[in-house]
């Protein structure tokens, strides 16, 4: 309670309970995680079986044991709600961004289904 009050926003937005779409699929999520044309999360995150990867972000092996689906969703949607200075893109945010290139303006990096596929894939990493 006190902690929540002290860290304000950060803990208040730790989790996003409401799925953005129905039917998240771990198999498709794996592809979103790896594909250059989709999430391409491997540019920053290693995850055991998935190679090759960068190390800008933490390795995500067992991330499903550390974080709930709702916490995973919030981190993918907009991690700055959890950690204001996180060096990770907000993958499902279109408002309040600066200087977005015209071709991408008003669009999110991933669509709702891709986010839920990622949540299913990462929740299964335990």
Partner 1 sequence: MKRAVALALALLAATALAEAPRSGLAYQGEDIRRLQADDFANPAMLWAERGAAAWQQRRGTANKSCADCHGAAEQSMRGVAARLPAWDARLQRVSTLDQRINACTVREQGAAELPPESEPALALQTYLALQSRGMPLRVAVDGPAGPVFYIGRELYRTRIGQMNLACTHCHEQKAGKTLLAEQISQGQPTAWPAYRMDWQAPGSIERRLRACFLGVRAEMPAYRSEDLVALQLYLVWRAQGLALEAPGVRR
Binding interface with partner 1 (CB under 8 A):
42-44, 52-56, 80, 85, 87, 89-90, 93, 97-102, 104, 107, 109
Piece of the chain touching ligand HEC by CB under 6 A; list 5-13, 18-26, 43-51, 94-102: 43-51
State which residue, 65 or 101, has the beta carbon closest to partner 1: 101
25: helix, strand or coil: coil
Residues 6+ apart with CB under 8 A from 13: 74, 81, 82
Piece of the chain touching ligand HEC by CB under 6 A; list 1-9, 19-27, 56-64, 97-105: 56-64
Binding status of residue 39 toward ligand HEC by CB under 6 A:
yes
Q: Which long-range contacts (CB under 8 A, 24 or more apart) does 35-40 make?
A: 38/110, 38/114, 39/91, 39/109, 39/110, 39/114, 39/118
Binding status of residue 10 toward ligand HEC by CB under 6 A:
no
Cis peptide before 52 (omega within 30 of 0): yes
Give the Cα separation of 16 and 51 in Å (integer). Answer: 29
Give the Cα separation of 89 and 33 in Å (integer). Answer: 14
- Min separation Cβ 6 and partner 1, Å: 23
Binding status of residue 28 toward ligand HEC by CB under 6 A:
no
Which residues of the chain form contacts with ligand HEC (CB under 6 A)? Answer: 39, 41, 43-45, 56-58, 63, 66, 72, 75-76, 83, 86-89, 91, 118, 122
């Amino acid at each position: 309670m006190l902690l929540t009050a002290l860290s304000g926003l950060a803990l208040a937005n730790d989790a996003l309970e409401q799925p953005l779409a129905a039917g998240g699929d771990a198999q498709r999520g794996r592809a979103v995680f790896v594909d250059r044309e989709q999430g391409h999360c491997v540019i920053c995150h290693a995850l055991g079986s998935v190679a090759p990867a960068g190390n800008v972000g933490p390795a995500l092996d067992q991330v499903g044991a550390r974080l709930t689906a709702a916490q995973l969703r919030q981190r993918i949607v907009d991690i700055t709600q959890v950690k204001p200075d996180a060096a990770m893109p907000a993958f499902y945010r279109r408002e309040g961004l600066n200087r977005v290139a015209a071709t991408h303006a008003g669009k999110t990096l991933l669509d709702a289904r891709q986010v839920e596929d990622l949540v299913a894939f990462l929740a299964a990493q335990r």
